[in-house]
Structure 1
Amino acid sequence: MEPIGVVVMQGEFLLAEGLRTVLAEADDVVLRGEAGSLQEAEQLVRRHGPDVIVLDVDGVGPDSAATFSACDLGAPDSSIGIVVLAQGHDPESVFGFLSGGAGGKAYVLRDHLQSGEDLLRTVREVHEGRSVLGPRVLDAMIQARHRRRAATLAGLTPREAEVLAHMATGRDNSAIADGLVVSERTVEKHCNAIFGKLGLRDVEHLNRRVAAVLAYLAHSTN
């Protein structure tokens, strides 16, 4: 069985030494190259075609753009796994990193890795197409999602909020129109506005009603 080929991108000497030592101790993992910038990493990916990229975003620049660029590094071969190591956890950066799909990706805080084996386990899981998120990263994402949803629902007009509340009781447009003493066409217009604000415009009709109601109920119970 071929060992898992890894390219490491980092900018700190001590961290590089540590990663090199950890990878060298594994029989099923081999270091294909090291890069100190996104440009170097991109060249190594094209030259060696690694199975997994280990990206230290803090070592090459703490801004979220480095995390987003990690997706581009795997673009030549979508089967390339990406492990992001970070000091902090900006939820928006993580959302951006996972936006193209979470399979074969990991976002882990450095202090979550208690041993070299933790890193190797993450590399192996990503190589197998799994998604790995550190517990604090996942918690931050959940909290950010709640805040996003609350902000989105707060953007509804009073009438739209009223229509959504009626929708949550299981009423169809005709029943909602009767309850609000408006035309069914007016209710449909409000529904479309709600779906648009909740980002559900392209979802199949029945499913977007369900998704809208779930968003409303989740917000109501928080």
Structure 2
Amino acid sequence: MVINERLRVVLAEDSVVLRDGMVELLGARGCEVVATAGTGSELLAAVAEHRPSVAVVDVRMPPTHTDEGIRAAVEIRASAPGVGILVFSQHVEASWATRLLADGASGVGYLLKERVARTAEFVDALRRVAAGGTALDPEVVAQLTSSGRRSRLDALTPREREVVELMAQGHSNRSIAALLVVSERAVEKHVAAVFGKFDLPATEADNRRVKAVLTYLAEGGG
């Protein structure tokens, strides 16, 4: 399991002070930062050379400080799908985030710097993404789902909407049960109802959870 391994990380952050601090913090938490990058092109080169478990990417990087980082992240998703991507930024770039999630929500995270209160919380998200999970800040989810078709979402009950939104944030059934103060069995029933309303039958390679999150993000929620 990735959880028990020393994560290999490429860190893309143009602020030298923040970058050096993150390298130190991640190293203290059992991660190995194999390379750092200050530009989108440096990030692409570092990922191609080192093939890390996960890349931590800021959105706005030189030379234009607009969307170079997340553009590079989208390119990495296409060229190296086994590399997890955790966008860690002050900004939500909804259009590029949607493209980042276009081929699946597994192995993708998007956290806002000012909303991460503890290092342990960040490293937990990093490990989850590296293991193929999802870690989306609620504010990111809100912006991604601010518009869109409502047909299948209208069929959800308020509780089912809460459950699928927490799924989009990367929470397990056990975690959702704790947050909503209900039994894990109740959460399982809500998840099954979401699958049914989203027309997601069981398959041999059951990835319905990811498909349910993608449906939620694509059609609008929150």
Q: TM-score, normalised by structure 2?
A: 0.61
**1:33 paired to 2:44:** no
User: Please, which of 44, 50, 53 is the counterpart of residue 52 of structure 2?
Assistant: 50
Provide the residue aligned with 1:98 in structure 2: 101
Provide the residue aligned with 1:77 in structure 2: 80
Could you list the runs of 5+ residues in structure 1 that have no partner in the other structure?
154-206, 208-217
1:10-69 deviation line (CA, Å, top 9, x unaligned): 101221022112111112x11101011122122211221111000011344543453132
CA RMSD of aligned residues (A): 2.4
Aligned sequence identity (%): 23
Deviation at 1:138, TM superposition (A): 0.8
Q: Which protein has greater RCO, CA pairs closer than 8 Å, 6+ apart?
A: 2
User: Please, which of 125, 146, 163 is the counterpart of residue 122 of structure 1?
Assistant: 125
CA contact (8 A) 2:11 2:35 kept: yes
1:134-184 deviation line (CA, Å, top 9, x unaligned): 0111111121x3xx438xx9xxxxxxxxxxxxxxxxxxxxxxxxxxxxxxx
CA contact (8 A) 2:61 2:69 kept: no
Give 1:56-67 correspondences, 5 Å limit. 56-60=58-62, 62-64=65-67, 66-67=69-70
Provide the residue aligned with 2:134 in structure 1: 131
Q: TM-score, normalised by structure 1?
A: 0.61
CA distance in 2, matches of 1:121, 1:40: 26
CA distance in 1, matches of 2:60, 2:113: 10
Partner of 1:93, secondary structure, is: helix
CA distance in 2, matches of 1:4, 1:33: 12
Deviation at 1:3, TM superposition (A): 1.2
**1:87 paired to 2:90:** yes
Cα–Cα, structure 1 residues 76 and 107, in superposed 2: closer, same or farther, change >3 Å? same
CA distance in 2, matches of 1:62, 1:84: 15
1:76-101 deviation line (CA, Å, top 9, x unaligned): 43111000012121322211221121
Partner of 1:57, secondary structure, is: coil
Deviation at 1:74, TM superposition (A): 4.1
1:166-222 deviation line (CA, Å, top 9, x unaligned): xxxxxxxxxxxxxxxxxxxxxxxxxxxxxxxxxxxxxxxxx8xxxxxxxxxx99xxx
Deviation at 1:129, TM superposition (A): 0.4
Partner of 1:118, secondary structure, is: helix
Partner of 2:145, secondary structure, is: helix
Give 1:132-171 correspondences, 5 Å limit. 132-143=135-146, 145=147, 148-149=148-149
Aligned residues: 150
CA distance in 1, matches of 2:41, 2:99: 20
The higher radius of gyration belongs to 1
CA distance in 2, matches of 1:93, 1:77: 18
Deviation at 1:71, TM superposition (A): 2.2
The structure whose residues are more often helix, as a share, is 1
